[in-house]
A and B are shown apart, each in its own frame.
Chain A
Amino acid sequence: MDRDTATIRSIRFLSGALLIFWLVVPLVPLGIWSFARGWRFPDLLPQEWTLQAWAYAFSDVSGVLQSLWLTIWVALAATALSILVGVPAGRALGLYKFRGKEIVELLILAPVIVPGIAVVLGIHTIFITLGLTNSVWGVILVHLIPTLPYMTLVMAGIFANYDPAYELQARSLGASPLKTFWLVTLPAILPGVIVGALFAFLVSWSQYILTLIIGGGRVVTLPLLLFNFATSGRNDITGAIAMIYILPGIVILILTARQLSGQSGAVGGFGRV
């Protein structure tokens, strides 16, 4: 029995080490590049170290900071719109039975299954007639296609585990609909809203094709800028921008690790008594 637990423990250790290796190792050369002045093939490490790439990245001429703020703004706006649409949609899917529910569920999942590039050209034509191409708002709207499924599915899970009778109880005790939402519904679903919002933010943050086509090259978010530098052969600047680009993902992973791993139990809802 002791040998069994020892085996399990070593397997667990190995898989954990492998996972970290898998995630971290690709970043190491990028990190080194961002501090290198030239790094040629046979050398294990660069000959000279410098902060030039970082200085350039944070200077006005590179456009990195502008691009960073733009990316943050697009992701925040797409997240906010996802919450506005995804919470009521998730409530409908999680709480109520209605005709055609399966079809609605499938349609909501579709953007996760169907590659973005397959639909974005069609959307592009529609957006041209609506005058939404080449604009930040067009990009924000098109980001809803991949972000909304995550938000809606997380909220559907929360509401499936939620008892709406609490709202009736609050109303019966004299609470207005707004007070009821604020004091009773929101505290119950808040953990789910946060997790869904973080997902939506990250999904928007990593969009490339949708931004490129709808933005028409004029809405340059961080991944587009990163790709420009990567293809121009400036490995040092690419490394610095890549470091900036992956930061939110790591922060969010640390923030949600406990909730996603199930250590804290439920992600939300009251549960039925």
Chain B
Amino acid sequence: MTHVSIRNLTKIYPGTAEPALDHLSLEIPSGELTALLGPSGCGKTTTMKMIAGLLEPTGGEITFDGRSILRDKPENRGVVMVFQNYLLFPYMSVADNVGFGLRMRKRPKDEIARRVRDMLDLVKLPDLGARKPSELSGGQQQRIALARALIVQPNVLLLDEPLSNLDAHLRFEMRDLIRSLQQEMGITTIFVTHDQEEAVVLADRVALILDGKLRQYDAAQKFYQRPASEAVARFFGGHNFVPGSSTGATFESPLGSLLLPEGAPSGPGTLTVRPESIRIGPAPENTLRVRVSDRIFLGTQTRLKLSQGDVTLDAVLSPDMVEGIGPGDEIDINLPRQSLWVLEPTT
């Protein structure tokens, strides 16, 4: 159980002016599963490598349970990193790969053999010990890479895009495996991903990094309900942004006066609502009359493009709710008060 604390962590690569990572500060509670989320090149892999000791920070501090680890060599930090492409050593058997960390820790041979067997059972691949990594499927390699990391019982586990190389059905299997092993062993785990879906299905808390800066650090659902800025909302697939001004209780805009949830900021700002929160039909509050300008079939869901004056809104609805609605129709919609949020202008 290790509490990881990152303070003002900064990395400037030689020959570049812009920092790859700019004063990142994060408190990662012991035993939690945290995602560092951001587009490629945002500084998240840089952060992981600095925690693992594979890269020297330009400035800032990293502590485990209050003790600085920046002077520790990578092999002494109790941090294990699992790379995106697994990196199983091709010249060793699967069992030797899994036992590698224990061998480096000079454990006795019989103990290594026993713990490798236990670990292979845990990742549900008990019979593959004698194989070579090249004989395994992608999903199996991923599990072996995870087993190889977990066997040394690290204080901190770092995962680089753990689900991105897997196809849809394996993703959920792997997600459940990672979560259950992480919970069982209580290992503080940090993983990086560019995929917001991967972040929210796996993590307790998500840190969104854009352009080397931390934009929001919160529980996953907050990014949908209470995004910190338009950039955050856009990264999470938000489309609907209406400029106007807030009184704290209502939002005044070309759409009229809309009631806001409690705690909304006041002053000039941008109203945002998730496309999937918009409801068809009138309601006691926040009802709007809009024109349907387009209808797009998305498979399990249907997207409606709605407009009123200059304002356009995107709504994503289940097919049975939009039965009989087509382009050109005038319909009533309502915006549930709890689904609205006001973004303060970015300075």
Q: Which of B81-89, B206-214, B277-285 contacts A (4 or more CB under 8 A)?
A: B81-89
B87 and A165: CB pair below 8 A? yes
Check: A188 CB closer than 8 A to any chain B CB: yes
Check: B269 CB closer than 8 A to any chain A CB: no
Name A179's closest neighbour in chain B (CB-CB): B104
B106 to chain A, nearest CB (A): 10
B104 and A172: CB pair below 8 A? no
Check: A88 CB closer than 8 A to any chain B CB: no
Check: A68 CB closer than 8 A to any chain B CB: no
Contacts A168-B81, A170-B100, A171-B54; A176 near B87 (Cβ below 8 A):
no
Q: How far is the CA of A163 from the CA of B85 in the complex (A)?
A: 11
Query: Which residues, 10 to 56 on B, are CB-close (under 8 Å) to A?
Result: 49, 52-54
A173 and B86: CB pair below 8 A? no
Interface centre among B85, B87, B89 (most CB of A within 10 A): B87
B86 and A273: CB pair below 8 A? yes
Q: How far is the CA of A273 from the CA of B87 in the complex (A)?
A: 8
Contacts A179-B104, A187-B91, A188-B91; A172 near B86 (Cβ below 8 A):
no
Query: Which residues, 83 to 112 on B, are CB-close (under 8 Å) to A?
Result: 83, 85-87, 89-91, 100-101, 104-105
Q: Across the interface, which residues of A come within 8 angstroms of B4, CB to CB?
A: none
Q: Across the interface, which residues of A come within 8 angstroms of B81, CB to CB?
A: 168-169, 172
Check: A175 CB closer than 8 A to any chain B CB: yes
A268 to chain B, nearest CB (A): 11
Q: How far is the CA of A257 from the CA of B101 in the complex (A)?
A: 38
The secondary-structure label for the interface of chain A is helix
Check: B75 CB closer than 8 A to any chain A CB: yes
Check: A65 CB closer than 8 A to any chain B CB: no
A96 to chain B, nearest CB (A): 13
The secondary-structure label for the interface of chain B is mixed
Check: B228 CB closer than 8 A to any chain A CB: no
Check: A208 CB closer than 8 A to any chain B CB: no
Check: B233 CB closer than 8 A to any chain A CB: no
A64 to chain B, nearest CB (A): 43
Query: Which residues, 170 to 203 on A, are CB-close (under 8 Å) to B?
Result: 170-176, 179, 183-184, 187-188
Q: Across the interface, which residues of A come within 8 angstroms of B90, CB to CB?
A: 188, 270
A165 and B104: CB pair below 8 A? no
Q: How far is the CA of A187 from the CA of B132 in the complex (A)?
A: 15
Check: A49 CB closer than 8 A to any chain B CB: no
Check: B274 CB closer than 8 A to any chain A CB: no
Which of B87, B91, B152 is A169 in contact with, Cβ under 8 Å? B87
Name B55's closest neighbour in chain A (CB-CB): A168
Q: Across the interface, which residues of B come within 8 angstroms of A56, CB to CB?
A: none
Name B102's closest neighbour in chain A (CB-CB): A174
A166 and B87: CB pair below 8 A? yes
Q: How far is the CA of A183 from the CA of B99 in the complex (A)?
A: 13
Which of A169, A175, A179, A188 is B83 in contact with, Cβ under 8 Å? A169
Q: How far is the CA of A156 from the CA of B105 in the complex (A)?
A: 33
Check: B261 CB closer than 8 A to any chain A CB: no
Q: How far is the CA of A16 from the CA of B86 in the complex (A)?
A: 45
Name B138's closest neighbour in chain A (CB-CB): A273
Q: Across the interface, which residues of B come within 8 angstroms of A169, CB to CB?
A: 81, 83, 87, 89
Q: Across the interface, which residues of A come within 8 angstroms of B149, CB to CB?
A: 173
A172 and B52: CB pair below 8 A? yes
Name A99's closest neighbour in chain B (CB-CB): B15
Q: How far is the CA of A163 from the CA of B84 in the complex (A)?
A: 13
In the complex, 6 of the A-B residue pairs with CB atoms within 8 angstroms, ordered by the A residue number, are A165-B83, A166-B87, A168-B52, A172-B54, A173-B80, A270-B90
Q: Interface of A with B (CB < 8 Å)?
A: 163, 165-166, 168-176, 179, 183-184, 187-188, 270, 273
Known: A174-B105, A175-B75. 11 other contacts (CB 8 A): A166-B87, A166-B89, A171-B74, A172-B54, A172-B79, A172-B158, A173-B80, A173-B152, A174-B101, A270-B90, A273-B87
